[in-house]
Amino acid sequence: MGNRRDDLLDAAIEVLGTSGVHGLTHRRVDAAAGLPSGSCSNHFRTRDALLEAVVERFADRERRNFESLVVGAAPAGPEELAQVITRMAHDAVGPHRTLTLARYAILVEAGIHPSIRARLLTTGARVNAYFMTWLRLAGSTDPDRHAPLIMNHWTGVVLHELAVPDPAFDPSSQFTSLVTAVFRTKVPT
């Protein structure tokens, strides 16, 4: 069991992932956390403060999920990298579906609220640094160019699967084709 603040943030993530951003209220977070009314507002005076704290919490939870999923993985080529991001996609739409839905809800809010956007850029920079290392290990000659191509595609595939679930969801061949093609494309000089 975490501390009360973390319990509230985990409850806020649950509310976001099941009810969307419009369902996120202090009262609903209190109820989801099983805490007395007013607990959430005591920790996070405004909805914006709550959303900003949620960004940090879900980034931490996603990082921990990611690390446990890929512990010891060091992709030695584009095919292995594709396997890893396929596992990440299955995890995002399966066991951690609610957390992923909360992330997408926050991404939409970031388009409206500069403070949330700033938090996402900070937390995203940590993920990007890790992914850039993987790209280099897998043989990327231009990780700065390859990272957005691969991860933006991954984000779209996961979003589509969340919105329109397919019982036979298997993006492995798609990711393998993409990563292989991206790595082999030469940059015009």
DSSP one-letter string for 68-115: HHSTT----SHHHHHHHHHHHHHHHHTTTHHHHHHHHHHHHHHTT-HH
Report the pLDDT value the prediction gives residue 186, as an integer from 0 to 100. 65
Q: Is 101 exposed, middle or buried (0-12, 13-18, 19+ CB in 10 A)?
A: buried
Domains of the chain in start order, with CATH, are 53-184 (1.10.357)
pLDDT at 130: 79
| Interior/surface letters 104-136, b for 16+ CB within 10 angstroms, e for the rest | bbbeebbeebeebbebbeebeeeebeebeebbe
Q: Which contiguous run of DSSP H or E holds residue 131?
A: helix 114-138
Distance CA 91, CA 84 (A): 11
Mean pLDDT, the chain cut into blocks of 10 residues (189 residues total): 87 96 95 96 94 91 80 82 93 95 93 90 83 88 93 96 97 96 75
- Based on C-alpha coordinates, what's the Rg of the chain? 18
Tokens representing 85? 């991001």
pTM, to two decimals: 0.89
Maximum separation of any 2 CA atoms in the chain, in Å = 63
